[in-house]
Amino acid sequence: MFEPGMIIQNRYEIAEEIGSGGMSVVYKAMDHVLNRYIAMKVLKPEFSDDKSFVSKFRMEAQSAAGLSHPNIVNVFDVGEESGYYYIVMELVEGITLKEYIQQNGRLNYSTALDFIIQICSGIEVAHEHHTIHRDIKPQNIIVSKNGTLKVTDFGIAKAATSNTIASTAMGSVHYISPEQARGGFSDERSDIYSLGITLYEMLTGRVPFEGENNVTVALMHIQSEIIPPREYYPDIPVGLERIVLKATQKRPEQRYLTTNAMLSDLRKIAMDPNAEVGISSVMLPTNAPTIQISTDELNAIKSAAESAGPTVFPVNQKNAELEEAKAALSSLYDDDLEYDDEKDNGKSLFDDKDDDDDDEIDSKVEKMITIGAIVATVIIGIIIIAAIISITGVFKKNKKATTETTTEATTTEEESNTMPDLIGYDEEEAIKQLDDMKIDYIIERDYTDKFEEGKVASQSIESGTELKEGDKVTLVISKGQKKGAVPDVKGKTLDEAKSILEAAGFKVDEDEEYSDEVEEKHIISQSPEGGSQAAEGSTVSVVVSKGKEVKVAKVPDLKKMTVTEAESALSAVHLKLGNVSQEYSDSVKEGQVISQSIAADTEVKEDTKIDITISKGKKPVKTTYSASFSGYISNSGYEFPEGKLVKITVTLKVGDTSYPIINDWYDEASLPLDGSSIAPYELTSKDNISLLYSVQDDSGADITGSFTSTLQAKLKTVEQ
């Protein structure tokens, strides 16, 4: 294709190949017009031959060129050279997000959150300009050296044909949306699905679906449910998991409808990792049609309800019973929802399928949701009825007990208890004391900074209060200080670190140190470490780089030293000899320092270079000559064509040396040429002086014979 040194469009000089993919080769090149390096992506020949593809490719690239955002790789130009089609883009120094994950493993949630917010910010601008990426994946996202993420490769996915998508040229299908896998219509929500898969990989270090080939993986995107990220890593915030699950819903209408909506939830998570965002607890299809429930399904509901029985469900059993009922119903559809290769009749996974197949699957999913909702309603109804019966029984029992003690109450004074002070007690001790005193109580739990976990933080009835029959005290048991995950801010600027930590609910204490590795005003280390848990509102200490430690030295006086002596004197104080120049001097001996670039006794950084000027001794006297000119060059018979010029050359020859005096173009109006207008010429010799001249037309033909010259040179001696 292109080779280093090639000049494209008289502008871009190819420097080196820096990458290659299924569809293109990327070169680093110098833009000689704007004097900057750029990246040039060149389509491979097998795609350049497809005119339809090239047309779409150019249109989409030109559309992408209209996008400008810090998180998008800017497109500068689109063109063609010798049958090769190329895009000129911003050159970003860094690695792809895929390489970053491979090098670092799964990212902590704060880094993943920072990255996905940057990516979404770029995609949001593209969507606002009605540009859909269609191939979002970590391989198309660059992590620059300063931590900024940039999305690249806009437009290539739309230009690609369905055959391209199925081939290795398109790359991995691990991030493709279900509607793209079916070969159907894709829009902004397809990008949102791919963003969700990308965030999933950042949080877990893996893609959600793996298979033997592209078709298998794409089929899993259509049919299989994603394993929630927290099942792999429970330290992932619940809110962030809910965002992933909402973005990766199978049906586009159940995802975020816009990138802006997804960004809004991500920013809420930045403020509160457990914010109520993302997928709702029950995702019901919108505008769902009326569903006809079969006799078998109704019998399953009845059977599930009868098996529950009329008794009250304990709290710790309720969820298990519901899951068991739903599992029984789900078994009705497991076989129907499996993908049947034989029914596909050999069609490509990426061919359009009949709409009836999709409707059938959606209808069955909707039936499952509806049946599950009915089962849940039946069970909840049973729970409520059983609870009422239980409460009624307690009421009757209390009434009976009251009746039995009426006689005793009339003969003795009513017992009274005084509320004890339980604040600071262990939970078990406090409950035992209340049980011994037969005081009813309610236990609540909350975070507190004042008491350790398990201690009584407050009581609803003050100590010393006389308790009456039926009084009930609420004890709040401390859950300890509320903790949150500490964001990892190492390598970030101080302003960025403070913003991230304060948004996560932490205070910031800063210290400074010199560092040879970490750039000035960037974070060297932090305590507690990123990813660890710490009490909300506590302080995170960060150490900020002051850059490399600056050591100073005093510049010595180098005057009248030789070059060797000056270099030694500088080395002794950790300075370096810079440029050495020469000039004549009447006062300083040849070979000695006349002057230095930085004055003696000035304090400078160690390793600073000091330039010196060495004496060449006294300047020798030379005899020179000045040549002045007189006379004219005139037209003696040449007819100038309209608008044409002639080139006149005059050379002063002294011995074997020639000096060009005139070499320029003249028109008819500028002749005759006056020699006195020529500046004097300085010579070192006057032997065998002669003046030569010639005239040529614009085609290079010699027309000297049509012109006459009276030019002559006069010499004047000049002493130096």
Angle at 437 between CA 480 and CA 478, to 5 degrees: 5
The reply to whether 177 and 242 lie within a common domain is yes
Note if 356 is an active site residue.
Answer: no
- Report residue 358's pLDDT band, with 50, 70 and 90 as the boundaries: very low
What are the distances in angstroms from CA 411 to CA 141, 398, 406, 489? Answer: 86, 20, 9, 74
The residue out of 521, 545, 569 marking a domain boundary is 545
Instruction: Label the pairing between strands 539-545 and 507-513.
Output: parallel
Alpha carbon distance 305, 294 (integer Å): 17
Domain hosting 243: range is 94-271
* 178 in the same domain as 30: no
* pTM, to two decimals: 0.43
Task: Please report the beta strands in 185-290, taking only residues with DSSP state E, as ranges in sequence order.
Answer: none
State the pLDDT at residue 55.
Answer: 78
Cβ–Cβ < 8 Å for 181, 215: no
Model pLDDT for residues 232-250, shown as the tens digit of each residue? 999 999 999 999 999 999 9
Instruction: Report pLDDT for 384.
Output: 67
Residue 696: count other Cβ atoms within 10 Å of its Cβ: 15
Query: Residue 673: its pLDDT value, please?
Result: 92
Among the listed residues 114, 135, 153, 265, the single catalytic one is 135
Residue 658: CATH number of its domain: 2.60.310
- Residues 688 and 561 occupy one common structural domain: no
Q: Alpha-carbon distance 455 to 444, whole Å?
A: 12
Domain membership of residue 406 (yes or no) is no
Are 461 and 487 part of one and the same domain?
no
The reply to whether 241 falls in a domain is: yes
In the DSSP assignment, the letter for residue 349 is: T
The predicted structure's pLDDT at residue 578? 94
Task: For residue 388, name the pLDDT band (cuts at 50, 70, 90).
Answer: low
| 109-128 vs 259-271: helix crossing angle, rounded to 10 | 150
Average pLDDT over residues 109-120: 96
3-state secondary structure of 523: strand
- What is the average per-residue pLDDT within 652-675? 91
Residue 190's pLDDT is what? Answer: 94
For residue 671, give the nearest of 646, 703, 629, 635 by alpha carbon.
635
- Cis-peptide into 528, omega within 30 deg: yes
| Weakest mean pLDDT among 50-54, 190-194, 450-454, 674-678 | 50-54
* Nearest to 44, CA basis, from 192, 194, 156: 156
Domain boundary among 74, 90, 106: 90
In angstroms, rounded to a whole number, what is the distance separating the alpha carbons of residues 139 and 100?
A: 10
**Rg value, the chain, Cα:** 43
- Do 218 and 318 lie in one domain? The reply is no
CATH code, domain carrying 426: 3.30.10.20
Average pLDDT score, the chain:
80
Domain identity same for 133 and 56: no
Is 417 within the bounds of a domain? no
- Three-state DSSP class for 525? strand
Are 537 and 560 within one domain?
no
pLDDT of residue 390: 53
Task: Find the mean pLDDT for residues 524-543.
Answer: 90
- Domain end: 478, 499, 518, which one? 478
Confirm whether 159 is domain-assigned: yes
As a whole-number percent, the residues of the chain with pLDDT over 90 amount to: 50
What average pLDDT score do residues 471-495 get? 90
Which residue's entry shows tokens 């049946």?
A: 371
- Give me the number of domains the chain comprises: 7
Q: Per the domain annotation, does 279 fall within a domain?
A: no
- What is the pLDDT at residue 365? 46
Give residue 146's pLDDT band: very low, low, confident or very high (50, 70, 90): confident
Residue 363 shares a structural domain with residue 429:
no
Per DSSP, the residues of 32-77 read TTTTEEEEEEEE-HHHHT-HHHHHHHHHHHHHHTT---TTBPPEEE
